[in-house]
Amino acid sequence: MFWFNRLIAILLPFVPKPVMKIVAKQYIAGETLEQAVVKTKELNRDHLRVTLDLLGEDPGSKTDCTGALRVYERAIEAIHTGGLRAGISLKPSHMGLKLDKQFCLENIGYLVKLAEKHQVFVRIDMEDASLCQETIDLFLSLHYQFSNVGIVIQGYLRRSIDDINLLGDKGANIRLCKGAYYWETRKNVYKDPEIVNESYVYLLEKLLSKGCFVGIATHDEKLVFQSLRLIDRLGLSKDAYEFQMLYGVEEQLRRILLDSGHPVRVYLPFGKEWLAYSLRRIRENPKMVGYILANFGNLLKNIFKKN
Ligand SMILES: Cc1cc2nc3c(=O)[nH]c(=O)nc-3n(C[C@H](O)[C@H](O)[C@H](O)COP(=O)(O)OP(=O)(O)OC[C@H]3O[C@@H](n4cnc5c(N)ncnc54)[C@H](O)[C@@H]3O)c2cc1C
């Protein structure tokens, strides 16, 4: 499976962009905030909470970061005025972490403060391992001042046990996911999917036992089952956790959880910078394997044309 995944990672850049865009569409609300708001209303009507995420990572300049900040500002206002059951999620790199740490902290601090005024929750996404420590430092400096900010911990990361011990003791609000950056090295992450799952359950149990609110972010039914077992064993009430799923993924499982009375949130990305996010999702889509195999000959032709 490892080599198969590697093969897909190598071939994906050669999938023609129009085809990529068609597949990517299933994971994205649209290119504009207005489209994301319409989708949020639909999901809210269906009793789902929403997290709005403006797509984009690694902006080239501070001006680009400020542009993204303005969109988030409008998103917070739209959530407030529309009475939407929604929060926002942002990537530190999108807010300038790689350009200037202080600038990034000021940007995120500004949004968290604005969001606090409007009772909107801000989640700081976790990116690749090289940004983990800075992201945690940034989160902690905001967590001391604001209660409407949370962070993400990745089950595949070896350091997550230590991070959970620290953040759990501080009562942090945490989204727990497996981790999406497939190029990480074995030095930093567990490569064996079974260990990733064991790590996930271990971290989840620690967090829930410490009384932290956890966003259980997974579509893996084995993990969903383990989570339900833990919730039952610990006798948790519905305000101690929520399930979180990505827009366009496992809608049936989402419905099953919702119908059983569990709180569920959908992560809803929007914006023009859809490629990097979609590549991660397409790679995680088991059906993509079939597509790539069925079109292997055409993809090879594409590779030779490009070279
Ligand atoms: C709400 C939310 C927020 C996230 N935030 C972050 C973050 O901040 N940082 C980060 O590194 N990662 C983040 N992730 C991504 C996460 O780390 C995983 O990469 C992703 O969720 C796939 O892992 P999984 O737990 O669903 O398990 P997997 O084993 O990948 O998937 C389990 C099953 O779900 C289905 N499935 C999963 N993905 C897809 C797909 N794209 N298309 C179709 N079916 C699919 C398949 O049936 C698959 O067998 C987030 C995920 C969620 C749900």
pLDDT band of 5, cuts 50, 70, 90? low
Look up the CATH number of the domain holding residue 226: 3.20.20.220
Do residues 161 and 299 share a domain? no
Is 137 among the domain residues? yes
Do residues 149 and 4 share a domain? no
Residue 305, pLDDT score: 64
The yes-or-no verdict on residue 130 having pLDDT over 80 is: yes
Q: Which of 53, 123, 125, 254 is catalytic?
A: 125
pLDDT band of 283, cuts 50, 70, 90? confident
251 CA from centroid of ligand 1 (Å): 13
Do residues 248 and 292 share a domain? no
138 CA from centroid of ligand 1 (Å): 24
pLDDT band of 20, cuts 50, 70, 90? confident
Do residues 152 and 192 share a domain? yes
Do residues 56 and 106 share a domain? yes
Is 117 among the domain residues? yes
Do residues 39 and 137 share a domain? yes
Mean pLDDT on 133-162? 98
The yes-or-no verdict on residue 280 having pLDDT over 60 is: yes
43 CA from centroid of ligand 1 (Å): 19
Do residues 290 and 256 share a domain? no
String of DSSP letters for 255-288: HHHHHTT--EEEEEEESS--HHHHHHHHHH-HHH
Please tell me the pTM assigned to this model.
0.93
Do residues 53 and 109 share a domain? yes
Is 257 among the domain residues? yes
Domain limits at 3? 1-27+285-307
Do residues 138 and 245 share a domain? yes
> Number of structural domains, the chain?
2
Pocket test for ligand 1, best of 95, 219, 291 (most atoms within 8 A of CB): 219
Is ligand 1 within 6 A of the CB of residue 224? no
Is ligand 1 within 6 A of the CB of residue 273? no
Nearest to 87 by CA among 117, 59, 131, 119: 119
Lowest mean pLDDT among 14-28, 88-102, 194-208: 14-28
Do residues 148 and 193 share a domain? yes
Residue nearest to atom 39 of ligand 1 (CA): 285
Mean pLDDT on 54-59? 90
Is 278 among the domain residues? no
pLDDT band of 8, cuts 50, 70, 90? low
Residue 22, pLDDT score: 80
- What are the tens digits of pLDDT across the range 223-268? 999 999 999 999 999 999 999 999 999 999 999 999 999 999 999 9
Is ligand 1 within 6 A of the CB of residue 128? no
Q: Is 85 a catalytic residue?
A: no
Q: Is 163 a catalytic residue?
A: no
Do residues 115 and 12 share a domain? no
Q: What whole-number distance in Å separates Cα of residue 215 and Cα of residue 237?
A: 14
Q: Which of 49, 123, 175, 254 is catalytic?
A: 175
Is ligand 1 within 6 A of the CB of residue 179? yes
Residue nearest to atom 27 of ligand 1 (CA): 220
Is 279 among the domain residues? no
Is 280 among the domain residues? no
Do residues 167 and 303 share a domain? no
The yes-or-no verdict on residue 6 having pLDDT over 80 is: no
The yes-or-no verdict on residue 25 having pLDDT over 90 is: no
pLDDT band of 274, cuts 50, 70, 90? confident
Is ligand 1 within 6 A of the CB of residue 217? yes
Is 211 among the domain residues? yes
Is 176 among the domain residues? yes
